[in-house]
Amino acid sequence: PVEPEFKYVGNMHGNEVLGRELLLQLSEFLCEEYRRGNERITRLIHDTRIHIMPSMNPDGYEVAAKQGPDSNGYLTGRNNANGVDLNRNFPDLNTFMYYSGEISGPNHHIPLPDNWKSQVEPETLAVIQWISSYNFVLSANLHGGAVVANYPYDKSQDQRFRSHRRTVNTPTPDDKLFQKLAKTYSYAHGWMHRGWNCGDYFADGITNGASWYSLSKGMQDFNYLYTNCFEITLELSCNKFPPEEDLERQWMANREALVAFIEEVHQGIKGMVSDENNNGIAGAVISVQGISHDITSGDMGDYFRLLLPGTYTVTASAEGYQPQTVTTTVGPAAPSLVHFQLKQDVVRKPPERKASGTRTNNKALQKKVVPRATRQGTQR
């Protein structure tokens, strides 16, 4: 407990191979530096659970690899073996959020539609089960075709602005935090922060996803709306399938950024939520005043809430317990440790039937508004 879970996912599009190669190299680098006694890497590994998935789309990669870097088409190997773009294949929780937002609905831990498993590919299903099995705090998925750090929301509320030629910024409640996370990578990168790359310009080398172009059913927004995880998308190279002789230069440009971004998981507040007998309370809701996006405690009662430096009023609540509110100050160097011990509420214990009804209504509403999976041909 109180050791955050971090993940990197590469090669979601099979023909975008630099992320795959970088994550394999990062794995080796972390092991080698740990063996050498590198204090920074040793501390990072001791204090963080680092998960690395070099390839989410191995079938698409095989198709692209057969073509090779010289004759590889821009879309050859992008999709999986069934011809599906995996970054357009996650349940569309954005539509539910925007619809329910009109009636003050949630933008966190939105339930999945009842028939979601029949709408996703095997790779998507495996990733959803994976991210549901761990209390991930921070994540990045690695793409190619541009050089920019992209943060949610990816999908615009107004779908009239689907074209990449029309822009509409669509921020999350954690917009300033996401911008800081994206800048951490872009400024640690060799040239991403300069802005001019691949014929495009992005100030500071970052962009809001929907401001670039609107993307539906992407993995980045799904992480934010369904789990506790804050994920950004890293576009790392103009050439989706760079030649072998370019890999060392790309590794040197990304090495510090890959490590620095992992370190970002150690900011904000963290701690335990327990009862009066010091038993951890799973699923307790952690709310921060002024930021309308909650996270929940893990199976052991530990929680992690990424926050920028500042003073915050934080409330922990759980069904059957009296909520507890504290004020805490977050510094720039390390997370603040804030524990909650909740007293059982014997007077106003919420009836289970009401909670069950709420979940059913949410699912029914979502089932009504979430469209069936579609395939699109944009970049990310």
pLDDT value at residue 374: 36
**Nearest in space to 235 (alpha carbons), one of 23, 7, 16, 73:** 16
Work out whether the CA dihedral 222, 89, 50, 236 comes out positive or negative.
negative
**249 three-class SS:** helix
Q: Which H or E run includes 186?
A: helix 175-188
Place of tokens 């509110």: 325
Inter-residue contact 248 to 153 (CB < 8 Å): no
Ramachandran class of 13: left when φ > 0, alpha when ψ lies in -120 to 50, beta otherwise: beta
pLDDT value at residue 30: 98
pLDDT tens, residue by residue, 21-34: 999 999 999 999 99
Inter-residue contact 162 to 156 (CB < 8 Å): yes
pLDDT value at residue 357: 35
**231 three-class SS:** strand
pLDDT value at residue 363: 42
Rounded Cα distance, 373 and 245, in Å: 39
List the beta strands (DSSP E) in the chain.
5-10, 49-53, 136-143, 146-151, 196-197, 200-201, 206-208, 230-237, 269-274, 285-288, 291-296, 302-305, 310-317, 324-330, 336-337, 340-341
Rounded Cα distance, 77 and 64, in Å: 5
pLDDT value at residue 378: 41
Rounded Cα distance, 296 and 190, in Å: 36
Please give the DSSP secondary-structure letter assigned to residue 80: -
Ramachandran class of 155: left when φ > 0, alpha when ψ lies in -120 to 50, beta otherwise: beta
Ramachandran class of 217: left when φ > 0, alpha when ψ lies in -120 to 50, beta otherwise: left
- Check if 32 is active-site: no
Strand order in the sheet with 324-330: 291-296, 285-288, 310-317, 324-330
Q: Tell me which of 121, 123, 231, 235 is the catalytic residue.
A: 235
Strand pairing of 336-337 and 269-274?
parallel
Surface-to-core class of residue 326, CB atoms within 10 Å of its CB (0-12 exposed, 13-18 middle, 19+ buried): middle
pLDDT value at residue 74: 73
Residues of the chain scoring pLDDT < 70: 71-73, 100-105, 159-167, 348-380
Please give the DSSP secondary-structure letter assigned to residue 344: B
Inter-residue contact 301 to 323 (CB < 8 Å): no
pLDDT tens, residue by residue, 280-308: 999 999 999 999 999 999 999 999 999 99
pLDDT value at residue 56: 98
